[in-house]
Structure formats: C-alpha cells, structure tokens
Structure 1
C-alpha cells in the first residue's frame, strides 16, 4: 500500500501535496508551469511536491503528446496522477448472485465478473463464492491482490458501522454476521460494508439517473422493498443504519405482503422470487385480468411505501430499481399516484444502472474512502490508507 506522505511531514506540505494531487486528478497531464498556474503555488513548491508524490508512486511523468501544437524543440515535462498505482473493488452480495467490479484509483472500471447463487445457500458458502469470484476477476485482469487499496460491499440488511449485519431477512445466516471482519481477513485492506439500497443510491448519484441531483431517494423493489436516500448529496443512514427500511411497512397490515399482493389465484405465491414476479408482470402486459389486478395491488403498495419517504424527505428525484427496473407499466402509475398523495410531486425515473447499481455504488464507497485518505490534510495515527476499516 502506497502512502501519500512518509514520516511526519509538516501541515503545510500536506496541504500543498493535496492541492497538487487534486489538480492532477481533475485534469489532463500538466506541466510544472500549468500546475503553478492551476494551484497558485510557487514553482519551487510545486517541484518539491511533485518529487515527493513521484517517490510515493502516485505521480509519474507523462509521455509527450506528439499532436501538441505548442511542441517546439524539447517539450516541457508533463505529469499525471498514476491511477494504476492501486486498485479498488465493488462487490454486490445478493440472494441470487455475487457480482464484482474492479477499478483503478481514478474509478475507471477494468473488469467485471459474477456468479449466480441459490437463495438458500448458507453464509459460509456465499462468502466462499465471493472470494472465488474476486480471485477469478483479479486473475483475468492481471491484478495482484496486494494492490487493492479498498473494497466496498453492498448487501441486503441493516449494517452497523463496523460492517456487522445487524438484521437481514433476505440471506440465510446473515443476521449478526461480522461481514466486514470476515472479508478483511481475505483482503488485508479497508472493507466498507453498506446496505444494498444505500449503495445503489450512491451509484445513481455518481454515474446514473441521479447525476446532478443531491436530494434523491432510490427504491429497491423486491420481496422486502428498501430505500436509500441522499440529503444534500450525503448518504442518510439514520441513527442505527435502518433509514429507508420501508419493507417493514407491510407489518402494519398483514394482508399487504408481496406474496398476497402479486397472487393471481387468491392464495399467496409460494415461492415468490424474481422469476415469479416477472411472470406476473408479463401476464399483466399480455392482458390477463388477474395479473393486472395483482400488478395494480403491488404498485399501490409501492406508492404507499415511496410516498412515506417523499413526504418525510421531500426529494427532488425518486429512482426506482430492483424488480421494477425494466418492467413495463410501473413508472407512470407511480407518477400518477404520487401526485395524489404528495404535497410536491418529485420526478420519478427508472434506474439508469440496472443490475450494476449495487456493485457500482460499493465501488464508489471504496473510492470515497481512498480519496479521503489521499486528500487528508491531517492524518491522526492509524488513519492512513493502510490503516484498516473505516466507514
């Protein structure tokens, strides 16, 4: 693991290093003169900082651009952030699959890999599949495990700050599982565990349907719907990490369970899984009257769940993911019904990232952690890039 600075450098040098590094990450390769102009620092200061960042492996000299019209005689040295100095992982662990995304320190995706899972597989088997999927992706990408700087994980359930799953009804053996601790044994780097809907909200805000919107709600439709929300661009977890657990609202009326809502026979669907839901929605599109009634009941329940969040948070945008993503007939009824229930109707749209949302959000959480370390001005003992788990 590369550290930004070594020993005990002065506060001023840390500030200067963070300023120069940030300038290089946000732009094309820059010359020393351009860095002086961009940062406002003196040339000797910039030269000293570049030397230190180069020694740390975070900055390298860029090749000359043969198409540069300013090129006359010997070209000026240009420097760039070395994004390939380390790597990040984003991992989705869901009832039906494990999905992993690999990226460099700039967030550029280098590869993806996944495996399907049986819903009832025990926790140890599921974790072993996570390790195997990661190992296969690293091997395919030619990336050494030792270059991992941080790992983000998105998983169903209420997640505590240390990565322990406080409660999860979606995965067998998941409640009480010290997920962060178990995975850190394999990765030897910070592992950040987050609720899957929260991770998806972060992803949509970063590179999906919510780019440019800082007050959003992401709804993960499913057997037990969940939601993640950003307020002022910051993820809102709640006091105990349980914000957005709208799946518990059906407890107010036992007849409002998804198994009953989506039934086309009058008896609860057993089992109810994603395939069964897709069948009901397809029958509704084909005109089946019982299926249409079932979909209407499901949408009404979803509207009530979403309306509760909209009335409490007043978001600019609601993004619908999970089962509803790609299923026709959900979006417009939601818009229509929310306009009846809410004082101010938010914009409503489907997820732009679809099945990639959770893993992408987990990757963004890992990237946030690394950026926090790279641009930290003051680093108390034990908080450097290799210091272990943080949220």
Structure 2
C-alpha cells in the first residue's frame, strides 16, 4: 500500500468528500451503510467524511421518520437548499425565469412579456422583473442566489458579449454580461439559447442517453444546438450551430411561410400567426397544409446538412413550434429520408417552451460542480 502522508492524506480526504457529495446529490437521504456502498469507503471512513461535510455545511443529518421503531440508522443528505440558482431565457417576445436548488430541482418559474423592438433598457427591466417575480414566488432573497445563468438569442463570445443578433437589434455588439452584472449581485453566466436548449433535452428530455444530437430550435426564429460525444459543442469561437446564417439554408425567412399564410385572419397579432396556421393545418386546412409544407422544405435543408455532417443518433424538434410536433414531425421525417444516407431518429421535444430556461439551470449546476466539486479546485469551502 502507498505511504500517504501530509498533503497526500489531505488530498485523499478531499477526494473522499467529493465522492460522498456526488453520491448524495440528487438522491434521497442515505444511511452510512448505503453511502459506504456507493462510495466504496469503509463505514468508519464514511462516518468521518460525513462529519466533516456537516461541519462545512454541505451535508446534514435527517431526523428519523415519525413512528420509527427502535434505534433508527442515521441518514444524511446533501444540503441542496443551502443556496439557489436562477436560469433565465431571454427570448424575443418573452423573458422566462426559473429558480432551483443547488441540485437543479426547479422550485419556481415566472414569465414576463416583452416587445421584439423593446429598447435595451426596457428589455433589461423585463429581465429584472422576471427574476424578481421568481424570487418573490419562492420567498427567496437575491443574497441567497449563487449564480444566474442567462440564455439569449445571438452569437455569444466567451466573455458574454453578443457579437451578432439579427432578431434583437438592441443586443448587437453588447457586453450583456457586464450589463447584467450591474443589476445582479451574484455570479452571472451567458450562453446561446439553442445550446442551452440542446443541453436540457440531452439531460432531461427527448435526447436523454444519446451521445450525438442535432437540436432544432424552431419558432418565430430558427436556431440549432449540437451535442457531440455527449457534450454541448460550442465550437472554436462559440459560434457552432448557426446554420441560419447561411442564406442557402433559407432558415432566416422560413417562419414567414407560417406567419403570412392566407388562412390567418386579418388582425391576428404577429406573435400568434404561426400558431394559427399550425392549428389550421392540424384541422386539415389545405392552404395551411401547403404553408407548413413550404416551411418544412426550408427547415429540412439545414437539418439535412447537419445530419449528413454529424451522423447524429437523434434529431430533436424543439422550441415553440414543437407544440405542433404532430403536424411537423411526419413531413420532416419524410423529407429527411430522401436526403440522408442514414436516417436518425426524429423526436419531439418533451420540454417545449421550457427548454432554454431548464438548460440555463443545468448550465448553472455544471458551473457550480466545476467550481466547487472537482478535485483540482482545492478544499471545499464553508457554505454561506
């Protein structure tokens, strides 16, 4: 056996602590015996680790269930409620916010409408209202929030600056991370919304267990997110998945087929036009069905390009239009089969409109893990 001394022993304790936390996160209360079995530690070693984690505030002992007979076994749980995370979806017409515990369990959600042509100040104010509403619903103080992760439309660089945004002109060349850090007194993370949506579907939704995924973020605007080898692919300059920027793909104007369909009654708000067309197509309206067909013709060009390049296991149809998957999936599959050497499975999102805000929560959880629960980050801090 190796002779572990000094720093080596400290390192061993740290690794044992991280192993124990990983075993407890996302699980119910566990006894020492169950923890020892999950971690591979002896029961006495597990007891020492549990005591140390309790002193640091990361773990607590759970009281025995009412009516327990005899001397109940001690049970321990990770204190996921020792802090909170917030995820925000900054959409063109809506701002969605969700609050979760440190395990990513969502506790409250809110939504704030916003105009597509809102000024920068108006959009930032709507973001602040959405987050404040979430905190009020859960009776949580902003001081208890550790991280807020934002998903937004546009090309986002590694510093949180919006390099390009066709849908929201006020976002262009904006230091969004800097603006949001002026508003929120906690850690701020920024990521492209389609990548966060792809992450959420991979972790919790239709692409669970798949290693290679093309996520189609379809709605009033179009986007894509890629999962390669089980990980979100950002690309060298954080600009992966921007197939809409290729004019030949015809993605930028594709939703116009649904928005301008002759079946849409005059006076229908622009944000409701596509939904009306999809509903009419579901009811067999031939004009609406023709508009849907033209939309799918455009959607499949970029989708087939990504499928032929990546050979994914799954293609997920997500975003706002995924609510009409019963209308869209059949034509999409049929057109893809004509173009692809190997046909992937095509599935509808199970998260719908919540995919981005859920992905933002998962992104914040990942960042927490990287900061606090990886072996190279030093000893675990005391929770605040």
Match of 2:31 in 1: 31
Partner of 2:376, secondary structure, is coil
Whether 1:127 and 2:124 are equivalent positions in the alignment is yes
> Structure 2 vs 1, CA of residues 271 and 24 (structure 1 numbering), >3 Å: closer, same or farther?
same
Match of 2:351 in 1: 353
Match of 2:216 in 1: 219
> Structure 2 vs 1, CA of residues 201 and 134 (structure 1 numbering), >3 Å: closer, same or farther?
same
1:281-292 equivalences in 2 (<5 Å): 281-292=278-289
Whether the 8 Å contact between 1:217 and 1:318 is mirrored in structure 2 is yes
Match of 2:13 in 1: 13
Structure with the larger RCO, 1 or 2 (CA within 8 Å, 6+ apart): 1
Whether 1:154 and 2:145 are equivalent positions in the alignment is no
What is the Cα deviation at residue 158 of structure 1? Answer: 0.8
Match of 2:57 in 1: 57
Q: 1:226 & 1:159 partners in 2: Cα distance?
A: 13
* Structure 1 portions without partners, runs of 5+: 1-8, 387-391
1:275-323 Cα shifts (integer Å, max 9, x gaps) = 2222333444455444333221111011111101111111111111234
What is the Cα deviation at residue 254 of structure 1? Answer: 7.6
1:230-277 Cα shifts (integer Å, max 9, x gaps) = 11110011111221112123x238898337644446xxx999944222
1:341-374 Cα shifts (integer Å, max 9, x gaps) = 0011111121111111110011110111112233
Match of 2:79 in 1: 82
Match of 2:332 in 1: 334
Whether the 8 Å contact between 2:198 and 2:226 is mirrored in structure 1 is yes
What is the Cα deviation at residue 98 of structure 1? Answer: 0.7
TM (norm. structure 1) is 0.86
What is the Cα deviation at residue 156 of structure 1? Answer: 0.6
What is the Cα deviation at residue 165 of structure 1? Answer: 1.0
Higher helix share: 2
> Structure 2 vs 1, CA of residues 378 and 91 (structure 1 numbering), >3 Å: closer, same or farther?
same
1:137-180 Cα shifts (integer Å, max 9, x gaps) = 21221112112122211111111112111111111310111122
Equivalent residue in structure 2 for 1:193, among 185, 190, 195:
190
Partner of 2:217, secondary structure, is strand
What is the Cα deviation at residue 37 of structure 1? Answer: 3.4
Whether the 8 Å contact between 2:148 and 2:364 is mirrored in structure 1 is yes
What is the Cα deviation at residue 380 of structure 1? Answer: 6.4
> Structure 2 vs 1, CA of residues 133 and 324 (structure 1 numbering), >3 Å: closer, same or farther?
closer
Match of 2:4 in 1: none
Q: 1:206 & 1:150 partners in 2: Cα distance?
A: 20
Match of 1:363 in 2: 361
Partner of 2:227, secondary structure, is strand
Whether 1:245 and 2:237 are equivalent positions in the alignment is no
Equivalent residue in structure 1 for 2:101, among 93, 101, 104:
104
Question: How many matched pairs?
Answer: 371
1:166-215 Cα shifts (integer Å, max 9, x gaps) = 11111131011112222223333322211111111111111111112121
Whether the 8 Å contact between 1:221 and 1:323 is mirrored in structure 2 is yes
What is the Cα deviation at residue 46 of structure 1? Answer: 2.7
Whether 1:257 and 2:286 are equivalent positions in the alignment is no
Match of 2:373 in 1: 375
Q: 1:252 & 1:26 partners in 2: Cα distance?
A: 45
Match of 2:295 in 1: 298
TM (norm. structure 2) is 0.88
Partner of 2:160, secondary structure, is coil
Match of 2:170 in 1: 173
Q: 2:239 & 2:177 partners in 1: Cα distance?
A: 18
Q: 1:76 & 1:173 partners in 2: Cα distance?
A: 58
* Structure 2 portions without partners, runs of 5+: 1-8
Whether the 8 Å contact between 2:249 and 2:301 is mirrored in structure 1 is no
What is the Cα deviation at residue 86 of structure 1? Answer: 0.7
> Structure 2 vs 1, CA of residues 368 and 384 (structure 1 numbering), >3 Å: closer, same or farther?
farther
